[in-house]
Copies of this chain bind each other. A is one copy, B any other.
Amino acid sequence: MARDAQQKPKSGHVFALRVYFEDTDAGGIVYYANYLKYAERARTEWLRALGADHSGLMAQEGVMMTVKRCEAEFVAPAQLDDVIEVHTAIEELGGASMWLDQRIRRGLNELVRMRVRLACVNRELKPAKLPERLRALLAPLAQTSKGVG
């Protein structure tokens, strides 16, 4: 239902941040590409909270997560000095990739709705299976899970 869809993700990771001058443009609002930076900061902190920071994934498992697809709906703008939140939830977990649902909110207002497909790649940027350790951490959080990414 639309109402459910609107309120998703019901649970998940929340990352708060402040809008600075660097984020804004001459239109007086946050420049559209910068919401993708916010989303990545949030993904990074979500993975770190799970025990899987970038440096560790590369050093121990030789992989990193890259964005293969991103769909963003810009509903309302954030402005200088705003405090906003990025809500991150995992929608679908595959063997080598996953779909995330990310929403950027200011208070109760949804500013940006994003769906992001992350894929796991090795040092040569070739597709790689998600490390078993990471998959075990993510599986309980996923709304759906498949064997192949």
- List residues of A whose CB falls within 8 A of some B CB: 18, 20-22, 24-29, 31-34, 36-37, 40-41, 44-45, 53-55, 64, 66-74, 77, 79-81, 125
Which residues of chain B are within 8 angstroms of A33 by Cβ–Cβ distance? 22, 33-34, 36-37, 40
How many protomers of this protein does the assembly include? 4
Shortest distance from the beta carbon of A80 to any chain B beta carbon, whole Å: 5
User: Does the CB pair A69–B79 fall under 8 Å?
Assistant: no
List the B residue with the shortest CB-CB distance to A75: B68
User: Does the CB pair B22–A31 fall under 8 Å?
Assistant: yes
User: Does the CB pair A53–B27 fall under 8 Å?
Assistant: no
Which residues of chain B are within 8 angstroms of A34 by Cβ–Cβ distance? 33
User: Does the CB pair A80–B26 fall under 8 Å?
Assistant: yes
Shortest distance from the beta carbon of A118 to any chain B beta carbon, whole Å: 11
Which residues of chain B are within 8 angstroms of A26 by Cβ–Cβ distance? 21, 24-26, 28-29, 79-80
Q: In the bound complex, how far is the Cα of B66 from the Cα of A31, in angstroms?
A: 10
User: Does the CB pair B64–A27 fall under 8 Å?
Assistant: yes
Q: In the bound complex, how far is the Cα of B66 from the Cα of A25, in angstroms?
A: 12
Which residues of chain B are within 8 angstroms of A80 by Cβ–Cβ distance? 26, 54-55
User: Does the CB pair A67–B22 fall under 8 Å?
Assistant: no
User: Does the CB pair A53–B69 fall under 8 Å?
Assistant: no
Q: In the bound complex, how far is the Cα of B28 from the Cα of A68, in angstroms?
A: 16
Given contacts A24-B25, A70-B74, 12 further A-B contacts (CB under 8 A): A18-B41, A20-B41, A20-B44, A21-B44, A24-B26, A25-B26, A26-B26, A27-B64, A32-B67, A32-B70, A54-B80, A71-B72
